[in-house]
Every structure is written in structure tokens, then in C-alpha cells.
Amino acid sequence: EIVMTQSPATLSVSPGERATLSCRASQSVSSNLAWYQQKPGQAPRLLIYGASTRATGIPARFSGSGSGTEFTLTISSLQSEDFAVYYCQQYNNWPHSFGQGTKLEIK
Amino acid sequence: QVQLVESGGGVVQPGGSLRLSCAASGFTFSSYGMHWVRQAPGKGLEWVAFIRYDGSNKYYADSVKGRFTISRDNSKNTLYLQMNSLRAEDTAVYYCAKDFTIFGVVPYYFDYWGQGTLVTVSS
């Protein structure tokens, strides 16, 4: 099974600043990587798929990059509604696997 | 709009059984694969099972293989998860989620999620 490792576990950023979240795969997953956002008490929401394609309705301040084993989710100019937990997920190999999450909190 | 509504959660004793349902609307249910994903209290996400759009292929996480069965009724736009031999470690919120790819033969990622139903396994 491919192990997905996210860093940092917690990221403290001020509103209006940029946040950079990392996700590393234990072996190559090509570009078969998705990012999800989860707020307390809510279901996850798809943000990015194919490593860099924004899902429908996702603001342009969210961007994804990377391929192979190293991936990044960047949120430019953080808004109050962006503070949440973010998960990466690989869908290149079975079974699909998630990272453990990065909590983005207000500094 | 796409809606997924789970039901059937509750408290069950270790070794017991429970069947979850997920009622789908707002899309052509019979054209998409469906997943169950769970989240233990305060923990991350764990994919549980996938069923192809026509029900012909099913995949399971090792942690539930042989105990859980995913199924679907396309005439009722409903997804199911039969959970047997439940353990304390199965305690979680269970989400049903729609696969992104129409007529996909293998699972991809999840573009819509339900709000989840809580399963608690405790004596």
C-alpha cells in the first residue's frame, strides 16, 4: 500500500497570507492525486484532482502542483473560510490512500 | 444538485451487524461508481469500499474484507454497506461518496460526499 505523508501536521498562517501544504507519496503516483478540504462537522470537499486541476466551483486562490512523489497545495491570500483540515489522496494504486491531514489554523 | 444522504448508523455491540444506506439524487446514479469512506473520531479519512456503476466489481480495504459487503440497487438509487462482525475499531462516521468518472471501470476520487452516519461499536 502506498503511504501518503503530509507536512506539517499543523500550519499557522495569518489571513491574507499564503499557505503551502505538502504531500509525499512512498512511491510514484504519477499525477493521480487529489486534495480535499474538511471543516469541523462537515464532509470533505474535493478541491483539486489530477494534482493540479481545480474542481468545479473552487476559487482560483487554491492551486495544486507536483507529480511522482512530491505534491503541494498552495492557498494564496488566505480567507477566514479556508481554515480547515486538508487531506491528500492518491488514486494511482489500489488501495487508494489518504494522508493524515494538515490542520490549517489562524495565526 | 447532487445529494447523498446516509442512514442506518447507531450503537451496536462488538460482533454485531448493521446495514448502512445512502440515498442518491441529482445525478444518474446507475452511471457512477460509489464509495464508502470512514473517519474515526478525531482521526483522518480511511477508504472502505468501492462498487462499480453496474455492481459488477467491488473493492475492499483489507481492514474490512470478509466482514463488510458493499452493494447497490440502481432501481432505487441507493447504495448499501452491510457490516458484520463489527469491532470497536470500526467506530467511525461513515460517508458515502460518488466517484468522479462516469462508467469508470476502476475507482478514482470522490467528487461528492454525503454528511455521514455515525457507527459506534461498544458494549
Instruction: Please confirm whether the linkage preceding B41 is cis (ω < 30° from 0).
Output: no
Partner-chain residue, chosen from B46, B62, B110, that has the shortest CB–CB distance to A46: B110
Query: Cβ of A87 under 8 Å from any chain B Cβ?
Result: yes
Q: Which residues of chain B neighbour A38 with C-beta distances below 8 Å?
A: 45
Query: Cβ of A48 under 8 Å from any chain B Cβ?
Result: no
Q: Report CB contact under 8 Å: B111, A46.
A: yes
Cell 450503537: give the residue: B11
Question: DSSP character for A17?
Answer: S
Contact (CB, 8 A) for A57 and A46: no
Percent of chain B with pLDDT over 90: 93
How does the average pLDDT of chain B come out, rounded?
96
Query: Cβ of A96 under 8 Å from any chain B Cβ?
Result: yes
In chain A, the residue whose alpha carbon lies closest to the alpha carbon of B4 is: A43
Query: Cβ of B47 under 8 Å from any chain A Cβ?
Result: yes
Q: Which of A104, A107, A98 is nearest to A35 (CA)?
A: A98
Query: Residue A27 above 90 pLDDT?
Result: yes
At residue B65, the pLDDT reads 97
Strand order in the sheet with A70-75: A4-7, A19-25, A70-75, A62-67
- Residues B14-33 have a mean pLDDT of 97
Query: Cβ of B1 under 8 Å from any chain A Cβ?
Result: no
- Residues B60-72 have a mean pLDDT of 97
DSSP result, A60-91: TTEEEEEETTEEEEEESS--GGG-SEEEEEE-
- Residues A42-69 have a mean pLDDT of 97
Query: Cβ of B42 under 8 Å from any chain A Cβ?
Result: no
Q: Which residues of chain B neighbour A100 with C-beta distances below 8 Å?
A: 44
At residue A40, the pLDDT reads 93
**Interface mutation vs chain A, best among B35, B100, B109, most A CBs within 10 Å:** B109
Q: Which of A66, A40, A45, A65 is nearest to A55 (CA)?
A: A45
Q: Report CB contact under 8 Å: B46, A98.
A: yes
What are the backbone angles phi and psi of residue B8, rounded to the nearest 5°?
A: 105, -5
Contact (CB, 8 A) for B69 and B20: no
At residue B105, the pLDDT reads 80
Chain A to chain B Cβ contacts (< 8 Å): 54
